[in-house]
Structure 1
Amino acid sequence: MNEKEQKMTTYAESDLRQFCKTVLEEMGMMGDHAAVVSESLLRANLEGVDSHGISRLPIYAKRFTDQRINLTPSIVMEEKSPSVLMVNGDNGLGHVISYKAIKKGIEMAKQSGVTAIAIRNSNHFGTASYFCQLACEENLACIGFTNSPPGIAPWGGKEAFFGTNPMAFGFPTGDDQPVIIDLSTSIVARGKIILAEKQGQMIPDGWAIDEKGEPTNDPKAALNGSVLPLGGAKGSALALAVEILTGLLTGAAFGPHVKSIYEDGEKGNANVGHFFILMDIEKFMNVNVFFESIKSLLVEMKDVPKAPGNDEIRYPGERRKRERDKRQQEGVQLSESVLEELQSLGSRYGVEFPLPLSSQQAINR
């Protein structure tokens, strides 16, 4: 089934968020943890990053059930110095571990100016941008990294070794539209290929190679092969740097030793590593002066003469904000395949799946 054959149904974001939270609570997750996971997933959907949204809930649930992810982790945080926080996530879900670590790191950074957070024994944490946004809300800048199961071959190789190893940067602007830069060191996030396979779609040229090292448009062959690095050898080098920060400096797993939650045959904890750097703007300069400066920078950047075919220059974070505003009004679309998985999951735990917006509007009429 290709993309055009996939029927899309629209739901209110608030309804999907509540469904997600209730399912997790029914599974045994604490309410505050469930709220964090639901917020992270649905924010991804609102911002148009559907590959990291509610479509991930079924695989998380499956790994909770088979005890490959700890539903109720005892997260241990150790302040090694006023500016270094080491975190053992006890094999919990990365959203919860990173949220709690960021909140603690914000407190520390407001005292020390800069705080580094090293997290081990974690799992997938959704979008790195979510944690940068949390820091920006407190007028802190943030740089975030995570490793992941093998997805990228080292430059010149044909077998996946590095994860897609995303990195994100967040800078507050004094309003609700911070500068948010979120990218993987692969040419595309592996989650987009996973979602393409789930929805029966082909992938574009230049995204991946198969097991033989040949270019492929088949998402299944891509997942068995390797995603291509961003910018060739430069992307491969960045993937290595992220691997050192998140896999070695944290004490987590690295490269092919990071387990995939999508592989049923895997044994042992994923042991994903995350690394964050938080910077309190006020410790560097007056925060209002910084806001004036960054806005001047962005205005001047956007005023650069436009190349043919372009009527606007956008800074990273603008598209996310516009998409979020739009989807909050118009709803979040789910494909048939994702919808079937979520409805099945809800039935298993006695949680009714919400009505689509079209049905609600018909009832209201």
Structure 2
Amino acid sequence: MGTYSECNLKSFCEDLLISVGMNQENAFVVADSLVKANLEGVDSHGISRLTIYVKRFNDHRINVNPDIKLTEQTPSVLLVDGDNGLGHVVSYQAIVKGTEMAKQSGITAIAIKNSNHFGTASYFCQLACEQNLACIGFTNSPPGIAPWGGKNAFFGTNPIAFGFPTGNDRPVIIDLSTSIVARGKIILAQKQGNSIPNGWAIDEDGLPTNDAEAALRGSVLPLGGAKGSALALAVEILTGILTGAAFGPYVKNIYKEAETENANVGHFFLLLDIEKFMHLSTFFGSLEHLLTEMKEVPKAPGTNEIRYPGERRKRDREHRQLTGIELSSNVEEELIRLGEEYNVPFPKPLSLETI
């Protein structure tokens, strides 16, 4: 287990992606997204994903440099065909184009098909907030949640994300899966040989399990029981049906060797230009008032601080930028092997950089 600098991990990611054929612009976006997830404490969606992405580029299950088609269906509707590209690249281009449109029309709905896993939804919400846009983002994913009352996975974990600019570097960022936990955390636990907490998942027989491998064969539990299952259905309709992408059990899993079809993941974003609704200063002032009063609510026993969504991410990011990103031994070994395969040296841990 070692600790690494943000800069070195980004350079490694970028160089490795370029070595497998990705162009520099796309490689920068993917590296930035992955390492930012690690910085913000979302290690399940960080650099540990690099190995499977590279593998799928090489077996042609994901296009390393897709020919993404962006179609302005109306001044406020953007249709995107990702050409089976990596979701980070497809969604980045969609957000850039959607931002231009939202600045003109006030609101843009972005429907994306033929994509793949896009990392954290929060990354795209943050991009929108930098442009003073509010963002709502959704994505479907391979089956991971059983419908309420069922025992077999049917819906994806289907995250929902919101981003609201605050006029400073601390936007409100809400990013949650409709499952009780992101499936990536179970994948990471399985990779590290760790058990998972009670209440996260059921096995193939519908029984509670602490075994990460059994959980991946079974189902993650929905957030809030029937309510989470209902939200997963709503996301499936937006991202699978409305976009023309795959839905439910037809979304393919890039971790399964036996599946050779394109994943055809769907994403859906709404971008809102706040200036078309009110003056930015009015919005920022009212939002600051709301957040300040929320944080001043009398605290429950054992609570030191009431935080709004996005504060922890920022604090973790600032802390890890100073102290480094810690990687488990399993992830380290995997990345070292990957680097050796493509002649891209994996960086030394911070403690060894001066030796």
Assess same fold via TM > 0.5. yes
1:33 paired residue among 1, 26, 29: 26
Query: Which of 296, 301, 322 matches 1:329?
Result: 322
2:43 to 21, 37, 50: 50
Give 1:65's aligned residue: 58
Cα-Cα RMSD: 0.5
Letter in 1 for 2:318: D
Q: Choose which of 121, 141, 151 in structure 1 pairs with 2:114.
A: 121
Deviation at 1:110, TM superposition (A): 0.4
**Runs of 4 or more consecutive aligned structure 1 residues displaced over 6 Å after TM superposition:** none
Letter in 1 for 2:232: A
The structure 2 residue matched to 1:348, chosen from 341, 349, 354, is 341
Gaps of 5+ in 2: none
Per the alignment, in what secondary structure is the counterpart of residue 273 of structure 1? Answer: strand
Task: Describe how 1:81-96 pairs up with structure 2 within 5 A.
Answer: 81-96=74-89
Q: Deviations over 1:175-226 (max 9, x none)?
A: 1110000000000000000000000100000000000000000000000000
Cα distance in 1 between the residues matched to 2:305 and 2:331: 34
Please give the per-residue CA displacement for 1:57-90, whole angstroms capped at 9, x wherever unaligned: 0000000010000011000010000000000000
- 2:280 pairs with 1:280: no
The counterpart of 2:130, out of the listed 118, 134, 137, is 137
What amino acid is aligned across from residue 214 of structure 1 in structure 2? L
In structure 2, how many angstroms separate the alpha carbons of the residues matched to 1:49 and 1:355? 22
**Residue equivalent to 1:229:** 222
SS state of the match for residue 278, structure 1?
strand
Q: Which amino acid aligns with 2:238?
A: L
Partner of 2:99: 106
Name the CA distance, whole Å, in 1 between partners of 2:65 and 2:259.
21
Alignment of 1:1-365 (within 5 A): 8-360=1-353, 362-363=354-355
Aligned length: 355
Q: Distance in 1 between matches of 2:270 and 2:181?
A: 24
The two structures have a TM-score, normalised by structure 2, of 1.00
Shift of 1:289: 1.0
Post-superposition shift, 1:124?
0.1
Share of identical aligned residues, percent?
73
- C-alpha displacement at 1:33, in angstroms? 0.1
- Give distance in 2, aligned partners of 1:17 and 1:311: 34
Q: In structure 1, what is the Cα distance between the partners aligned to 2:6 and 2:194?
A: 24
| Mapped partners of 1:31, 1:243: distance in 2 | 33
